[in-house]
Amino acid sequence: MRHQTLVSAVVVSVVIAIAMAATSSVAGQSAPLEKPRAVAKAVAPTKAYTPPKTPDGQPDLQGFWTNSTYVPLERPNNVTKEFYTKEEAEAAMKRAAERESEQTEPGTTADVHYDFTQFGLDRSQSTFATSFRTSQVYDPPDGKVPPMTAEGQKRVQERNAARKTAGGQYDDVKNMPIGSRCIIMGGAGPPLQNAGYNANYQIVQGAGYVMILTEMIHDARIIPIDNRPAPPSGVRQWTGISRGHYEGNTLVVETTNFNGKNPFRNGSENMKVIERFTRVADDAIEYKFTIDDPSTWTRAWSAELPLVKTGGPIFEFACHESNFGIANILAGAREDEKKAAEQKKGSSN
Amino acid sequence: MPNRSLIATSAALLMAAGVSMAQAPQTPAPARPAAAPAYRAPRTADGKPNLNGIWQAMNTANWDLEAHSAAPSPIKEFGTTGAIPGGSGVVDGGTIPYLPDALKKKKENQANRLKLDPEVKCYLPGVPRAVYMPYPFQILQSTKHIMMLHEYAGAVRTVYMTDQTEAPADSWMGWSNGKWEGETLVVDTKGFNDLSWFDRSGNFHSDALHVVERFTPRSADTLNYEATIEDSKTFSRPWKISMPLYRHVEPNAQIMEFRCVEFVEDLLYGHLRKQPTSK
């Protein structure tokens, strides 16, 4: 299609790939304008580092960043320590990269859509953020998301039951994944999570505000840092409502007022996310978050993932406007039903 | 929502239903200031005119850039809440200088608006339409990048003040490079696709569109906004729109989430829903 940008074409095919392959290890693309480089950067806080300041005195977090990483949210079952050695970390990354590249094997579902290697979509080919952490979760110390409360478990069961009542995934657009529908994608958070591909962010600071633009679906979070009152509980948003302040050189952002329609790890709409951004090097931000949701988990839990500088700029991610995938998938499902009905009719005659 | 102005709240609620906000009384299209405005804006920490804030147009430009009379709602059930308020127009000289074929297409667009207007489908609004849609937008100013953050569809524009490049690809919101001319922020935008419209009356452009906007502070809480529109495939000459923009002065004003994709899914995909099997 003449009108479609290259970016949109890739976007839609990846959206479809996710919908069809239902895999959690879809590879990532980073920094579209930047030449791919496979340099792995270790994020190690340097005590001596003093971050630059913006002209109005905020610790300067501005620029283009990525959290494209293979560090999993939870610690793998066979690992018992918090940090790998350099050699172990490299081996873990190599294994993860191999799992990704398996998707380019001829005959796999993903291969039907595109060759990851050709499009530079696998994470290890682009600017890449890693750390020696064995898991993003560092509190509790076992690296696992804490157990759910009875209320949390009940909510998960109710959500699963509601999903079954709603019918099959391709019966109605409302049953399809939120990302495929171009409403919101995983990277936007909060908390920020590795989006799988295009895990890129732009941070801009102006008087009284910090803005975090997530490349995926051009999702801009505007964070006031002017000590305004908490938002009224009656207004609920997909990405919640954020309020920020500085503690020394750290930007602290508290987000509440979620609408519960895109629950992070099956949290409730009363979840509170506390994020901490600290510039620890010219090319690295330490990003930590705490999830506080007593109605879902037996305790608050915290995680860290690396955020490293990447080349800009960020392209427009016009997801919905080029979402041919939804219409084609639904039309395909209706066609299948029609054929099945005709076959049934034919065989009964 | 005590943090929002009545205007913005009404606009958001009514727009969700696909209808217009109630309009303030119309004044004639603002004439261009005869001389450079005497007002000098406060400065940001890096010494530039401070345009930070949440702004909104207060006119009927999103219904029709040209002068138009009040008209009934295109959807009967909306009654007066969907009616179109009249307006004196925001086009300098009154008329958009279409080439003959383009004028035909504009009229077809207008006749088939509910089917064709990208706004009906929650598509990105393009430029300059994003600026005068009946939703607020925030200007967030830093030295290198100035963000235009629109409530409608979460549309975003980065205005590059330093690290400027050509548009890397065509897009809905185009590729914006900016510079300061005295009190004025001048934004030069190219690299558009040909899919967005200028208003609900079918005014449109091609992918040759080039927009130069001028944001000039005219008082503490108002800006003069001008956009010069050039597109040799569609228009016989460049033409200009101008209007004031107003600051949201209510305490704790904020851009709300208006993730309208969800609101149009039944419209766009409802016909592909699995039909209940009749037994």
pLDDT single digits (tens) A185-226: 888 889 999 877 788 999 999 999 999 999 999 999 999 999
Secondary structure (DSSP) of B21-86: PPPPPP-PPPPPPSS-----PPBPTTSSB---EEEEE-SSTTT-SS-B--B--SSGGGGGGGPBPP
Q: Which band of pLDDT confidence, cut at 50, 70 and 90, is reported for residue A25?
A: very low
Record the tokens describing residue A267, joined without a space.
């949290």
Question: Is pLDDT above 50 for A59?
Answer: yes
pLDDT at residue number A119: 53
Question: Is pLDDT above 60 for A39?
Answer: no
Record the tokens describing residue B6, joined without a space.
């009545």
pLDDT at residue number B115: 96
Q: What is the CA radius of gyration of chain A?
A: 21
Close Cβ partners of B267 (under 8 Å, ≥ 6 residues apart): B120, B121
What gap in Å lies between CA B247 and CA B196, rounded to an integer?
26
ipTM of the complex model: 0.86
CB A222 to CB B158 under 8 A?
no
Question: Is pLDDT above 60 for A279?
Answer: yes
Q: Which band of pLDDT confidence, cut at 50, 70 and 90, is reported for residue A26?
A: very low
Strand partners, A309: A65
Question: Is pLDDT above 80 for A265?
Answer: yes
pLDDT at residue number B2: 41
What gap in Å lies between CA A302 and CA A179, rounded to an integer?
25
Query: What integer is the mean pLDDT of A265-280?
Result: 96
Q: Do the beta carbons of residue B50 and residue B42 sit within 8 Å?
A: yes
pLDDT single digits (tens) A295-322: 999 999 999 998 999 988 999 999 999 9
pLDDT at residue number B123: 98
pLDDT at residue number B160: 98
What gap in Å lies between CA B97 and CA B234, rounded to an integer?
9
What gap in Å lies between CA B115 and CA A284, rounded to an integer?
48
Secondary structure (DSSP) of B227-250: EEEE-TTTBSS-EEEEEEEEE--S
Pick B145's closest partner by Cβ from A181, A183, A204.
A204
User: How far is the CA of A292 from the CAs of A240, A254, A270, A302, in angstroms?
Assistant: 14, 10, 9, 9
CB A313 to CB B158 under 8 A?
yes
Record the tokens describing residue A20, joined without a space.
């069809």
**How buried is residue A105: exposed, middle or buried, by Cβ count under 10 Å (0-12/13-18/19+)?**
exposed
- Say if strands A272-281 and B184-190 run parallel, antiparallel, or are unpaired: unpaired
Question: Is pLDDT above 80 for A102?
Answer: no
**When comparing pLDDT for A134 and A5, which is higher?**
A134
Where do we find the tokens 């172990």? A88
**Distinct helix (H) and strand (E) counts, chain B:** 5, 9
**When comparing pLDDT for B221 and A346, which is higher?**
B221
What gap in Å lies between CA B229 and CA B233, rounded to an integer?
12
Mean pLDDT score of chain A, rounded to an integer? 83
A contacts of B166 (beta carbons < 8 Å): none
Pick A321's closest partner by Cβ from B123, B259, B269.
B123
Q: What parts of chain B have a pLDDT lower than 50? A: 1-25, 278-279
**Within 10 A of B276 (CB to CB), how many other CB atoms are there?**
7
- Say if strands A301-309 and A137-139 run parallel, antiparallel, or are unpaired: antiparallel
Query: What integer is the mean pLDDT of A88-101?
Result: 82
pLDDT at residue number B97: 98
Query: What integer is the mean pLDDT of A24-29?
Result: 32
Question: Is pLDDT above 90 for A113?
Answer: no
Q: A49 phi and psi, to 5 degrees?
A: -70, 130
What gap in Å lies between CA B118 and CA B112, rounded to an integer?
12
What gap in Å lies between CA B12 and CA B7, rounded to an integer?
9
Helices B261-269 & A324-348 angle (0-180, nearest 10)? 40
pLDDT at residue number A297: 98
Query: What integer is the mean pLDDT of A156-185?
Result: 93
Q: Min CA distance, A198 vs chain B (Å)?
A: 16
pLDDT at residue number A196: 73
pLDDT at residue number B9: 42
Q: Which band of pLDDT confidence, cut at 50, 70 and 90, is reported for residue A99?
A: confident
pLDDT at residue number B147: 98
**How buried is residue A178: exposed, middle or buried, by Cβ count under 10 Å (0-12/13-18/19+)?**
middle
Provide the sign of the torsion angle of the four alpha carbons B50, B55, B58, B63, taken in this order: positive
B contacts of A236 (beta carbons < 8 Å): none
Question: Is pLDDT above 70 for A28?
Answer: no
User: How far is the CA of A223 from the CAs of A57, A99, A119, A189, A278, in angstroms?
Assistant: 17, 37, 34, 13, 16
Find the residue in A nearest to B157 (Cα): A316
Closest CA to B118 of B144, B145, B150, B153: B153
Pick B265's closest partner by Cβ from A3, A181, A235.
A181
A contacts of B52 (beta carbons < 8 Å): 206-209
**Distinct helix (H) and strand (E) counts, chain A:** 6, 12
A contacts of B124 (beta carbons < 8 Å): 316, 318, 321
pLDDT at residue number A126: 63
pLDDT at residue number A93: 85
Max mean pLDDT range (A35-49, A84-98, B215-229): B215-229
What gap in Å lies between CA B20 and CA B61, rounded to an integer?
11
pLDDT at residue number A8: 37
